[in-house]
């Protein structure tokens, strides 16, 4: 079962649960803790918090686009996105917590009020892909669940709903295949058929373990709990 096959209401529910999961990790951090590093190199928790807040604001722009037909991109440019995060990271802890809460509420409101007929409207992702605006449910789901782990205070891939972990792995492998990466790499998730990333290339590396540990590794968040291949480096995903 993939995320995209779920009814829209359920997809939005999983995104909201991810937001709650992120918010819970965030609530456990003191203001001082926000100055510390995340799992993402070069980003403090303040950078991450700014990014997660501005991501929700950017998704709101896609929902506006779908609702009005007036093209409003997620970000004006990759540079603008980067500058916004760097400047956001200089805000106070209180301001960043507010930004998170406020943008979560705005996105939720836009999801709740988008007319049924507008959910199929096409919008463009930051990577330039045209997708129906309903894809914002998955875009936000990925962000909040993975970045909750990136906060580095106890978030675990093992806490993700299975459908999120499954769909994430499908996304990552698909991205590798599109970029022609991962020759020789075979993923062996416990209880599943092995996945050869480039089926025509001879196997050179096997990475195996629970679904959570393989997805974590594939997403570039380290080898935690793998039963094989822990020394291997994953190809870049994004
Ligand atoms: Zn992100």
Q: What is the pTM of this model?
A: 0.95
Specify the CATH number for the domain of residue 207.
3.30.1050.20
Q: Which residue, 155, 175, 191, sits at the end of a domain?
A: 155
Specify the CATH number for the domain of residue 140.
1.20.120.450
- Residue 91 has a pLDDT of 98
Helices of type H across 69-152: 78-88, 93-113, 136-150
Residues with CB under 5 A from ligand 1 (ion): 143
Kindly give the distance from the C-alpha atom of residue 52 to the centroid of ligand 1, in angstroms, as a whole number.
Answer: 6
Is 139 in the same domain as 181?
no
Residue 233 counted as domain residue: no
- Residue 238 has a pLDDT of 80
Residue 235 counted as domain residue: no
Tally of structural domains, the chain: 2
Is 52 in the same domain as 132?
yes
Q: Could you tell me the residue range of the domain that residue 28 belongs to?
A: 3-155
Helices (H) and strands (E) in the chain, counts: 7, 6
Q: Name the stretches of the chain with pLDDT < 70.
A: none
Kindly give the distance from the C-alpha atom of residue 88 to the centroid of ligand 1, in angstroms, as a whole number.
Answer: 14
Q: How many alpha carbons fall within 13 Å on the CB side of residue 4? A: 9
Kindly give the distance from the C-alpha atom of residue 201 to the centroid of ligand 1, in angstroms, as a whole number.
Answer: 31
Could you tell me if 182 and 193 are in contact, meaning their C-beta atoms sit under 8 angstroms apart? Answer: no
Write the pLDDT tens digit of every residue in 196-238.
999 999 999 999 999 999 999 999 999 999 999 999 999 998 8
The residues, ordered by sequence, that sit 6+ positions from 38 with a Cβ below 8 Å of its Cβ are 44, 45, 47, 48, 150, 151, 152
């Amino acid at each position: 079962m993939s995320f995209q096959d779920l009814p829209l209401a359920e997809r939005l529910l999983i995104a909201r649960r991810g937001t709650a999961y992120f918010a819970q990790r965030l609530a456990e951090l003191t203001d001082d803790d926000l100055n510390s590093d995340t799992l993402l190199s070069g980003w403090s928790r303040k950078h991450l918090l700014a990014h997660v807040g501005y991501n929700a604001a950017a998704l709101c722009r896609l929902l506006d686009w779908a609702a009005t037909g007036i093209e409003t991109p997620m970000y004006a440019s990759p540079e603008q996105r980067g500058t916004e995060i760097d400047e956001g990271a200089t805000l106070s802890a209180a301001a960043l917590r507010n930004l998170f809460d406020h943008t979560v509420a705005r996105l939720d409101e836009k999801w709740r009020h988008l007319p049924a007929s507008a959910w199929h409207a096409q919008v463009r992702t930051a990577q330039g892909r045209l997708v129906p605006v309903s894809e914002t449910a998955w875009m936000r789901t990925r962000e909040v669940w993975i970045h909750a782990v990136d906060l580095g205070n106890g978030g675990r891939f093992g806490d993700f709903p299975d459908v999120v972990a499954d769909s994430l792995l499908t996304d990552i492998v698909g991205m590798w295949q599109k970029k022609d990466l991962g020759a020789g790499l075979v993923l062996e998730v416990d209880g599943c058929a092995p996945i050869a990333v480039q089926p025509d290339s001879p196997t050179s590396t096997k990475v195996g373990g629970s679904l959570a540990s393989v997805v974590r590794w594939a997403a570039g968040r380290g080898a935690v709990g793998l039963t094989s291949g822990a020394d291997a480096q994953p190809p870049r995903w994004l």
